[in-house]
Amino acid sequence: MSTRHLVIIGNGISGITLARQVRKLDSETRITVISGESDYFFSRTALMYVFMGHMKFEHTQPYEPWFWEKNRIELKKAWVQKVEFGAKTMVFDSGEKLTYDSLVIATGSKPNKFGWQGQDLKGVQGLYSKQDLELLEENTHQGVKRAVIVGGGLIGIELAEMLAYKKIPVTFLVREKGFWDNVLPKEESDLVGRHIREHHIDLRLETELKEILPDSSGRVRSVLTSKGEEITCELVGLTAGVSPNVDFLRNSELNVNRGVKVDAFFQTNIPDVFAIGDCAEFENPPATDRRNIEQVWYTGRMHGETLAYNLCKQPVPYQPGIWFNSAKFLDIEYQTYGTVPSTWDEGEVKSFYWEHSSGKVCFRMLMNASGQILGVNNFGFRLRHEFFDQAIREIWTGEKVIAKLDKANFDPEFFASYYIEIQKAFKAQFGGNFQPAKKSFIQKLFGAKV
Amino acid sequence: MKWFEKIGLGLFLIGLTIFTVIPFLGTYTLSEELVLANTKDIHKEKMAEILALMYGQEYGSNFSFLSSFGENFNTYNDNLKAQQLWDQVIWDDYGFALAKAAASSPVTENPWLWLGLSIGLAVLGGYLYNFRQYAEEPAGIKNNGTFHSKLKNRGWLGMITGGYLILFYILLYWFPAYLVNLVWMVEPISRMLSGGPASQWFLYGLVYTLAILVMGVRMFRKYRGNKYQQLRTASVMFFQTSFAFLIPEILVLLNQPYFDFKNIWPLDYDFFYDYQISTFLSGGGMGMFMLIWGILLIIVGVPVFTYFYGKRWYCSWVCGCGGLAETVGDPFRQLSDKSLKAWKYERWIIHSVLVLAVVMTVVTIANYFSGFSFLGNVTNQLHSFYGFAIGSAFAGVVGTGFYPFMGNRVWCRFGCPLAAYLGIVQRFKSRFRITTNGGQCISCGNCSTYCEMGIDVRAYAQKGQNIVRSSCVGCGVCSAVCPRGVLKLENGPEENRIIDLPIIIGNDSIKLNA
């Protein structure tokens, strides 16, 4: 293979996975990764832990600095101003230029702003990038007596937790009836809502942001809500989702809609130009339960893996496997495997739901009309990915899944054996020809109580 | 901070200050009777003569007393050395015994009071500070502010703490004569337990045990809701209090040899020293049992338990060094170096110590069976080198004194020969591994950051690879701090335990090694 020059814009999980995998498959290609955000790849999801003092920023970097040189992955710190696709050249904000043979756009997302009055005031910000984190540190350095967070998703609750660390009281405006209830079924959404309030966060459901009001110096003074209330605050966090970070590519030959339009091979409308990760918008969703923009860490990684293979071996279409995801809501961990939408047709889908008396641990399994598993949600305890990947792929019956649930348990040793309770509850509700697991002697002796 | 936390912190600091001041209290007066009573028969006459100038003089501090003692004693020895009269040189160090005998202070007169004011207040304060931590918050991981702390992130408070610990260890190992007041203070407890006088080691054992107990309470609070951490902490508290501290003292009370039943060679490096062997052999049935028990632990206990549970059964559930690291050291676990370079140094250093310990022991045993004719001199030199460099400097001064600089497992990671032995078994013949939960890792780095052994856990987790590392002590904190439920300590079949080229599940397009 000739020494083509592969240039990747963006050093997030998609771009870096691509660079690493290309290097593994092909030692010839010259690889350059461009980022204006940071010197080295870091885990975006870990920014909150830097703010809360769990880690230093360098701890979020999965590879030591020597890794890049050793693997001949050139890093360039710059912002790309525009790309001249005809000349296969990009222009940096310094005016400097770089030419490529193949270009991959992996520029991720930016926080949504919906044209609210006052959304660009001082003290109003989103939380996505390293720069956002630095801005947040500056904005919360002193004098913040209350913060308002707008938008009840994963970033919103992270921001709430971060501000709670600084002992800043938080009012959390959520448009929907329940926290993240476009993704979570009602019971799960309620469970998280209760936990948010347990942390003294002022959760306001069915409340929207109307307007952000300034003080005389152009800083935020207060917000007006859809319920007509004015809340005095010194910080506003805009966390109502993210959208592809592709503005610098608009008004060019590249086909850009919400994101960069790609086919199943991550190919854009321009030859040798590809897009992966959060910023890519598929012509058709990759699977029936997927959207055409995938904004998750894991999908970004899979995009990178797949495109690397396509660039070095042969073109294969992107085909994600069984869906999985995870998050942590303050102290409560959440995992999901397969398809569990927020609502379903009672006639076609059977739901089994179990909740622990603490109200902080729950399990849901959806089954089709013939009782076969569609997916699970679990909160407050851990379940094994491999187990559910297999169970859903092989379309096990719900009964079989529950009967083997002890094999799926991924909680540390001596933790409460919730799976036994779940098995009993399932048997009571749906029947089934299995015996709930028994506690081992050691568990009886030392294990935590359910 | 709650009011009782403030009071707790205050009491702790008062106790610590009094503990620090105690060695400097009182006066020292030596007499011929004291010298005769505290020296070996063969030295009695000589020592009484050497120190004659000091009799009846009242020294105002341990400094003046010990410097005068040193002058008189060294003049005598140096003279003989200059004349190469080696067999007449007095090699024993009577500094501690004579200082202890000569001391007269408020502490020697009223040890219980001073014990209460120093260690007692510190323990009470520490307990008050810890016992309700995080009570207002729901159970969960409590690492908020770790890297903003002046203590836990090598700030000025960490430097002072480390400096204090290092100084304490230097005095304890090489200048115990300065600490005799503290030893007097714990004398009554020693009398109660073993019937004998207290040494600096008794003082150390008591402080060590209490530190583990008080900071164990902190662990219970910090890891509320994590049964694995709770049980593990309870276990190290139990083994330290009973096996390491009380049982050996009680054995002495019962006229049996002093023995810690859970200490294993080569951590217990003098297990095969001739004086130990003769203690066992002259110790009747109990002595013989100790010898056989100790050998069984080495050749059966370590491999069998490590095969089934990994080295964690010892390092983070039983061991005393581990016990201190996991309680007192827990606030510093994030300071271990995770670089590849550190891992390289680690493997060279720890295995060198293991080789040294084995060679030393083989020479010792050969020497013993040859009736002390084989390399007798070399054996002694090896013993004193090992005792100084490894047993004291590395395990004590660096091992604990460096908590606030290099994390809480410096000794366990770089130095402990038993950890090296357990690690070899764990790496090559064990059912233990840390399992990665499929593709759920988000590379956040909490696991690596809080790994006290400096293992880059994330490097494995993000590839979907099981973590099988000789150094892993199975503390379970990586699993505890993981926000996505990715890590689980497991014992399972050896098949597929080590996967060199893992594939992360979830992508059906292609199969690439991560």
Residue pairs spanning A and B at CB distance below 8 A: 167
3-state DSSP helix/strand/coil % of chain A, to nearest 5: 30, 25, 45
Cβ contact B488–A410 (<8 Å): yes
A58 touches chain B (CB under 8 A): no
Is the model's pLDDT at B374 over the cut of 80?
Answer: no
Distances (CA, A) of A58 to A42, A49, A61, A68, B357: 8, 12, 5, 15, 38
Domains A5-110+243-312 and A124-240 share a fold: yes
CA B170 – CA B97 distance, rounded (Å) = 18
**Lowest mean per-residue pLDDT among A21-25, A375-379, B379-383, B408-412:** B379-383
Cβ contact B146–A53 (<8 Å): yes
pTM given for the model: 0.96
> Which residues of chain A are under the pLDDT cut of 70?
1-2
Q: Is the ipTM of this complex over 0.90?
A: yes
Chain B closest-CA separation from residue A349 CA (Å): 24
Cβ contact B483–A382 (<8 Å): no
Cβ contact A412–B509 (<8 Å): no
pLDDT in tens, B162-219: 999 999 999 999 999 999 999 999 999 999 999 999 999 999 999 999 999 999 999 9
Q: Which residues of chain B does A410 touch, with a Cβ-Cβ cutoff of 8 Å?
A: 435, 437, 485, 488
Of the candidates B435, B444, B506, which has its C-beta nearest A321's C-beta?
B506
Is the model's pLDDT at B372 over the cut of 80?
Answer: no
Residues 446-475 of B with CB under 8 A from A: 446, 448-449, 458-459, 462
B12, B129 Cβ separation under 8 angstroms: yes
Query: Among residues of chain B, what percentage have pLDDT more than 70?
Result: 100
Is the model's pLDDT at B267 over the cut of 90?
Answer: yes
**Lowest mean per-residue pLDDT among A81-85, A443-447, B335-339, B400-404:** A443-447
Of the candidates B139, B231, B509, which has its C-beta nearest A306's C-beta?
B509
A385 touches chain B (CB under 8 A): yes
Cβ contact B442–A321 (<8 Å): no
What confidence score (pLDDT) does residue A2 get? 60
B505 touches chain A (CB under 8 A): yes
Can you give the residue ranges of every domain in chain A? 5-110+243-312, 124-240, 324-446
What confidence score (pLDDT) does residue A215 get? 96
CA A259 – CA B227 distance, rounded (Å) = 46
Q: Residues near A214 by Cβ (< 8 Å), separated by ≥ 6?
A: A118, A121, A220, A221
B178, B62 Cβ separation under 8 angstroms: yes
Confidence class of residue B514 from pLDDT cuts 50, 70 and 90? confident
CA A57 – CA B280 distance, rounded (Å) = 55
CATH architecture of the domain formed by A124-240: 3-Layer(bba) Sandwich (3.50)
- Which of B339, B440, B488 to mutate to test binding with chain A, by most A CBs within 10 Å of its CB? B440
Q: Which of B433, B428, B414, B431 is nearest to B472 (CA)?
A: B433
Structure tokens at A81: 């101003």
CATH architecture of the domain formed by A324-446: 2-Layer Sandwich (3.30)
What confidence score (pLDDT) does residue B512 get? 86
What confidence score (pLDDT) does residue A3 get? 87
- Which of A64, A384, A410, A415 to mutate to test binding with chain B, by most B CBs within 10 Å of its CB? A410
Chain B closest-CA separation from residue A65 CA (Å): 10
Is the model's pLDDT at B376 over the cut of 80?
Answer: no
Cβ contact A412–B226 (<8 Å): yes
What confidence score (pLDDT) does residue B66 get? 97
Average pLDDT over chain B, rounded to whole?
96
pLDDT in tens, A143-158: 999 999 999 899 999 9
Can you give the residue ranges of every domain in chain B? 27-104
Distances (CA, A) of A13 to A148, A261, B198, B500: 30, 20, 61, 22
Q: Which of the pair, A432 or B371, is modelled with greater confidence?
A: A432
Residues 192-251 of A with CB under 8 A from B: 195, 198-199
Distances (CA, A) of B360 to A88, B117, B281, B364, B488: 68, 44, 21, 6, 39
Q: Which of B302, B331, B304 is nearest to B315 (CA)?
A: B302
Question: What is the identity of the amino acid at A22?
Answer: V
| CATH superfamily of this structure's domain A5-110+243-312 | FAD/NAD(P)-binding domain (3.50.50.60)
Of the candidates B228, B439, B483, which has its C-beta nearest A413's C-beta?
B228
Q: Which residues of chain A does B310 touch, with a Cβ-Cβ cutoff of 8 Å?
A: none
Cβ contact B489–A320 (<8 Å): no
Half-sphere exposure of A106 (CA within 13 A, CB side): 35
Of the candidates B231, B442, B508, which has its C-beta nearest A321's C-beta?
B508
CA B20 – CA B13 distance, rounded (Å) = 10
